[in-house]
Structure formats: C-alpha cells, structure tokens
Structure 1
Amino acid sequence: MSKSFERFQRRKLISSYFSVTLSIALVLFLLGILGLLVLNTKKLADHFKEQIAISVFFKDTAKQVEIDELQKSLVMSEYTKSAVFVSKEEAAEQHSEEIGENFLEFLGYNPLKNSIDVNLNAAFVSTTQVDSIAAEIGKRSFVEEVSYDRPTISLLTENVRRIGLGILIASAVFTLIAVLLINSSIRLSIYSKRFIIKTMQMVGATKSFIRRPFIWTNIKLGVFGALLAIVALFGLLYYLDLNFPQLGVLQDLKMLAILFSGVFILGLLISLVSTYFATQRFLNLRTDDLYY
C-alpha cells in the first residue's frame, strides 16, 4: 500500500515538474520569436532603406573623366553603399525591356542621359540628409539633375519609426505576460507543498532553509525549459534558413548569441524570482489560511 502511494506521489511530482518545464519552454519560445523580430527589425528596415536610390543625370556635354571622378568621389563617401554608372545605351535597353518594345525605333534618337545610381547607407536615409546630399552633388556644372523619391523616403522613415515603437510596446506586454504565466505555474507547483512548508516551519526550520530546495529545483526546471526553447528556436531558424536562405538568419552569429543567451538568462531569472516570492507567500501564511 505504501509503495503504491509512493509511486503515485512520484508520478504526481514528475507530472508537476513536466508541466512547469513545458510552460516555461513554451513561453520562452514565444519570447524568443519576439526577440528575433526585435533584433531583426533594424536589419530589415536598413535593407529597405538601402534600396532607395539617388539618380544623378549628366548633361550631354559632360566629359567621361568628370563622370569617373564624381563616381570615385561618391564611392569614397561615408554615406554611399554603392554608386553604379549607367550609360544612356544601357538605360535605353532597360527601359525597352520594361515597356516591351524598342522606343528608339519610334523616336529615332535616344533621349536618355548618362547617369549614376547611388544607393545610400541606411543611416543616411532621411529626407533632410538626402536633400543635403542631393544638393551637394547637384552643384557640379556637368550635372543636369539629381532625382530621388522624396515622399517614399519620408513615408519609409515614418513607418520604420512606428513599427519600431509598436514592437517595443508588444515586447514589453508579452514579457509581462510571460512572467505572469511562468509565475503562475511555479506558484501552483509550490501550492501543492504548502503543508510541507508549514510543517517544516513549525519544527523550527528557517525560511532560507525551507526556500533553498524550492529555488534550486525550479531553477533547474527553468534551465531545462530554456534549453527546450533554445532547441525549438534553433529548429525554427534552421527551417527559415533552409527555405529562405536570402534572410541569412544563421549567418549572424552575434544575433544568435544574444538571442539564445537572453532566453537562457530570462528562464533563470523568472524561475528564481517567481519561486522566491511564491515560497515567501506560503511561509507568511497562517496555518488556518492554508486550507483556502
């Protein structure tokens, strides 16, 4: 009879530990996905910013040596990601491909200009900075026009700011929810041992002595939960890298280290803090309150 009761208690204990570990793992996995989104928001925003180009069109009288000097100057500038020369013939071919017919045969001449397409580094993509850069380039006497999509730059900058703020707010809310969920799971597991806690307290055990094994046990559960979450996150990242290699999610080792370390540390901290306050609550309860 006693052996069957012990087996029942052991199964109950394992079930309790399993549920706590699983809840920690699931919550940390969701937080990891959110962290991945946060860490990649800037990268994604920078990618879109660097797709915006400034087109520098030259006068027909512009000498090739002047164009080459300007291109070299642009390539050496801190704000430039790339500066590619596009001849009027290449521009005509591209335009013909886009419209699906050879417009040169209809016009009889090539109205397009030699140009340089300048892609800026993301840090310099804002309306004020692009205006300043365009004005500086346009001072050259052989430059006919500097063209760029100012409304798109303004809209992109504003949307990036809004999305970044939204993700930060969502991160704070989800982190709070995660803490509450893990805290609830740990409190329920300790609740089932409230009579043991009170019995130990009645025979003279100190609060720190009673609290220590609970903290140590739940820290181990937090570690297991964090490791499960990290394995699941790595599996998700591997799947993304396999199907969307252009994202390069497994190439950024610094980002992966920050993400996995953050998940692991968060699992430890939440488990430690939640267990401390949960045990403290039951240690401070009167004996009559244990039944409610």
Structure 2
Amino acid sequence: MSSSFDKFQKRRLISSYFSVVLSIFLVLFLLGLLGLFIINSNKLANDFKEKIAMTVFFENAAKDTTLVKFGKELKVAPYAKSMVYVTKEQAAKQHTDIIGEDFMTFLGENPLQNSYDIHLKADYVEKDSIAKIEAKLRENPMVSDIVYDKQLVNLVNDNIKKVSMWILIISGFLTFIAVLLINSSLRLSIHSNRFIIKTMQMVGATKAFIRKPFVTRSIKLGIMGAVLAILALIGVLLYVESKFPDLGILENKGLIGIVLLAVFGVGILITWLSTHFATQRFLNLRTDDLY
C-alpha cells in the first residue's frame, strides 16, 4: 500500500515538474521568437527599402564618356547601394519582352533613353534625403528626367514607423504575460509544498535554509525550459534559412546569440524571483492560513 502511494506521489511530482518546464518552455519560446522578429524586422524593412529603384534618364546627346563618368561617381557616392546601366537598346528589348511585340517596327526608331537604375541605401530612402539626392543629380545638364515611386517611399516609411510602435507595445505586453505565466506555474508548485515549508519552519529551520532547495529546483527547471526553448528557436532559424535563403536571417549571428542568451537568462531570473517570493509568502503565513 505504501509502495503504491509512493509511486502515485512520484508520478504526481513528475507531472508537476513537467507542467512547469512546459510552461517555461512555451513562454520563453514565444519571447525568443518575438526577439528574433524584432532584430530581423529592421533588416527586412531595409531590404524592402533598398529594392525601390530610382531611374535616371539621359539626353540622347549624352556622350559615352559622360555616362561612364556618371557611373564612376555613383560607385563612390555614399547613398548608392548598387546601380545598373541600361542602354536604350536593352530597355527596348525589355519592353518588347513585356508587351509581347516589337514596338519599334511601327515607330521606326527607338524613343527610349539610356538610363541608370539606382538602388539607394536604406538610410537614404527617406522623403527629405531622396529629394536632396534628386536635386543633386538634376544638376547634371545631360540628365533629362529622374523617376521613382514617391508615394511608395512615403508609404513604406510611414508603415515602418507604425509597425515599430506596435512591435514595442506587443513586446512589453507579452513580456508581462510571460512573467505572470511562469510565476503562476511556480506558485502552484510551491503551494503544494506549503505544509512542508511550515513544518520545516516550526522545527527551527531558517528561511534561507527552507528557500534554498525550492529555489535550486526551480532554477534547474528554468534551465531545462530555457534550453528546450533555445533548441526550438535554433530549429526555427535553420528551417526559415533553408526555405528563404534570400532573407539572410542567420547573418546577424551576434544579435541572434544575444537573443538566445537573453532567453536563457530570463528563464533563470524569472524562476529564481518567482520561487523566492512564493516561498517567502508561505513562510510569512500563519499555520491557520495554510488551509
């Protein structure tokens, strides 16, 4: 009979530990995902900005030396990430491929112009910055026109600001929920041992001595949950990298390492604090209040 009861207690204890570890794992995993999203959201936003092209068209009278000189100036320009020179013949071929017929057969000539497609660095894809760049490029007398999607530039910047604000709000909210969930799980675990805590106190054990095994156990459970969360996060990173290699999600290894270390540290910190205050609460209760 005693053996059966011991087995029941052991299963109950294991079940309690498992639920705590699972709670810690899920919460830390979600926090880690949020952290990874935050560090990559800026990169994704910059990548999108840098795909917006500014096309500079040149007069037909522009000589090859003028075009080559302009290209060399772009290579050393601080605002240019990349640029592509498109001849009027290449532009005509691209248009023919798009519309499905050769428009020059009935026009008799190529009305298109030589141009440079410039992709700006993300920091310069702002309303004021891009306007200054446009004004500077127009100082070249051989530049006939400069075309880019001004509405898209404004829309992208406005939406990035809105998304960043909401990310901060959601991050704070989820962090608060995470602390509450882990704290609740550990408080329930400590609650089941409240009579043991009070018994130890009644026989003269100090508060520090009583707290130590509970804090140590909780920290171990926190480490287990954090390690599982880190492994799951690494798995997600590798999966996303294999499916979407163009995102370059593993390029920021330093920031990724900081997020993973933060997950590990939060797992230990929250479990330690929650257990400390939970045991302190039961230590300060009167025996009658335990019921």
Band the TM-score falls in, shorter-chain normalisation = over 0.9
For 2:229, the equivalent position in structure 1 comes to: 229
For 2:107, the equivalent position in structure 1 comes to: 107
1:179-209 CA-to-partner distances (Å, cap 9, x unmatched) read 1111100000000001111111112222111
Q: Which amino acid aligns with 2:148?
A: Y
Q: Which amino acid aligns with 2:258?
A: I
For 2:215, the equivalent position in structure 1 comes to: 215
Residues 1:134 and 2:96 aligned together? no
Cα distance in 1 between the residues matched to 2:230 and 2:109: 62
Alignment of 1:1-292 (within 5 A): 1-291=1-291
Q: How large is the Cα RMSD of the aligned pairs?
A: 1.3
Cα distance in 2 between the residues matched to 1:256 and 1:48: 21
Cα distance in 2 between the residues matched to 1:178 and 1:26: 9
Cα distance in 2 between the residues matched to 1:256 and 1:138: 43
Cα distance in 2 between the residues matched to 1:180 and 1:224: 19
Deviates more, 1:57-66 or 1:245-254: 245-254
Cα distance in 1 between the residues matched to 2:150 and 2:82: 19
Cα distance in 1 between the residues matched to 2:154 and 2:251: 31
- Given that 2:40 and 2:249 are in contact with CA atoms closer than 8 Å, whether structure 1 keeps it comes out as no
Query: How far off is 1:74 after superposition?
Result: 1.2
Which runs of no fewer than 5 residues in structure 2 stay unpaired? none
1:233-262 CA-to-partner distances (Å, cap 9, x unmatched) read 222222222222222333432233122112
- Given that 2:57 and 2:114 are in contact with CA atoms closer than 8 Å, whether structure 1 keeps it comes out as yes
Q: Which amino acid aligns with 2:149?
A: D
Cα distance in 1 between the residues matched to 2:103 and 2:206: 91
Change (3 A) 1:232 1:281: same
Cα distance in 2 between the residues matched to 1:170 and 1:99: 46
Cα distance in 2 between the residues matched to 1:94 and 1:39: 38
- Secondary structure of the 1:85 match is strand
Cα distance in 2 between the residues matched to 1:247 and 1:205: 57
Query: How far off is 1:156 after superposition?
Result: 0.4
Q: Which amino acid aligns with 1:99?
A: I
1:52-82 CA-to-partner distances (Å, cap 9, x unmatched) read 1111111111111111111111111111100
Q: Which amino acid aligns with 2:82?
A: S
1:112-138 CA-to-partner distances (Å, cap 9, x unmatched) read 111111101101110100000010011
Give the percent of matched residue pairs that are identical in Structure 1 and Structure 2: 54
Runs of 4+ with >6 A deviation: none
Query: How far off is 1:98 after superposition?
Result: 1.4
- Secondary structure of the 2:111 match is coil
1:134-190 CA-to-partner distances (Å, cap 9, x unmatched) read 100110111111221111100000001111111111111111111111110000000
Say how many residue pairs are matched: 291
Query: How far off is 1:4 after superposition?
Result: 3.0
- Given that 2:32 and 2:263 are in contact with CA atoms closer than 8 Å, whether structure 1 keeps it comes out as yes
- Secondary structure of the 2:51 match is coil
Which runs of no fewer than 5 residues in structure 1 stay unpaired? none
- Given that 2:54 and 2:146 are in contact with CA atoms closer than 8 Å, whether structure 1 keeps it comes out as yes
Query: How far off is 1:9 after superposition?
Result: 2.1
Q: Which amino acid aligns with 1:252?
A: N
1:77-121 CA-to-partner distances (Å, cap 9, x unmatched) read 111100211111111111111112111112111111111111011
